[in-house]
Amino acid sequence: MLILGDLNCNVLGTSDPDGRALINFCSTFGQTQLVKTATRVTENSKSFIDVALTTKENIIYACDVIESAISDHSLMSLTLKFKTPRPRNIFVTTRTYKNYDCNGFIDDLANVPFHIVDLFDDPDDQVNAFNCLFLQILDEHAPIKRIRINSRPNPFITQEIYPCESIHSSGRNMTTLFTFHSITTGDVQRIITSLPSNKAPGCDKVNAKILKDSSPVIAPIIAAVASEPKANERGRQLSNQQKITL
């Protein structure tokens, strides 16, 4: 605890009852008076009414009294011995590519039984099956590890900001006419090839390089899943043109 200010309790001598009360207060609650000289000096008197009290004298490096030309009270200056807090270790999960071999990854990926995806009728189930098969091989070549970083990359991005981003995204509500068309393997490969390599990966930690390396194997499967006839929640097949809300 640190108490600073003009308390109008003159502790210079014992004639002032308020000063004696302040001295008793310091003795009772373990307060130490850091100011050792008079803080108000006139031609006829001097008093000790500006105080700096603390319960932890070891955190004070210096206490100085500085004369002021604009006031009859001297200025008090405290220098604290604060240590810079040691930053906490921050851990993130990421994929390690230390032992990643592109050719070995493609060879193993080519032997994956992706035909299992065709056993599902629901597009969501097809996507989940594809993700499970793909990530199982990727985890063997580029496993996910928990590593320590020196500092947070974006310290201004806090947990309070993420909900705000969701609210901002949900505010864009507009209805448009969307046309479904067949997706070819070439379309998928062009999209994968155009992905920026410097963008951060998603929650599955699959970056653009992995997608580009595996595009010869996964592009036909993604095109087949994307070209499957889609149905709405009532089981009716959607037409080629459908109004959707963005």
Q: pLDDT tens digits, residue range 90-122?
A: 888 889 888 899 999 999 999 999 999 989 888
Return the higher-pLDDT residue of 155 and 234: 155
How do residues 46-86 score in pLDDT, each as one tens digit? Answer: 777 777 778 887 777 787 777 777 777 777 777 888 777 77
Which range (11-15, 63-67, 162-166) has the least confidence?
162-166
Strands (E), 60-180: 60-66, 75-80, 90-95, 144-149, 175-179
CATH 3.60.10.10 residue spans of the chain? 2-80
Return the higher-pLDDT residue of 53 and 13: 53
Percent of the chain with pLDDT over 90: 20
Q: What is the mean pLDDT of the chain?
A: 77
Which of 88-97, 128-137, 162-171 holds the top average pLDDT? Answer: 128-137
Secondary element (H or E) of residue 33: strand 32-33
For 15-25, letters b (16+ CB in 10 Å) and e give ebeebeebbee
Q: Return the CATH number of the domain spanning residue range 2-80.
A: 3.60.10.10
Of 86, 91, 209, give the one whose Cα is nearest residue 144: 91
Return the higher-pLDDT residue of 240 and 86: 86
pTM of the model: 0.53
Query: What confidence score (pLDDT) does residue 28 get?
Result: 82
Q: Which residue has the tokens 């006139």?
A: 42
Query: What confidence score (pLDDT) does residue 112 get?
Result: 92
Give dist(CA 223, CA 69) in Å, integer: 82
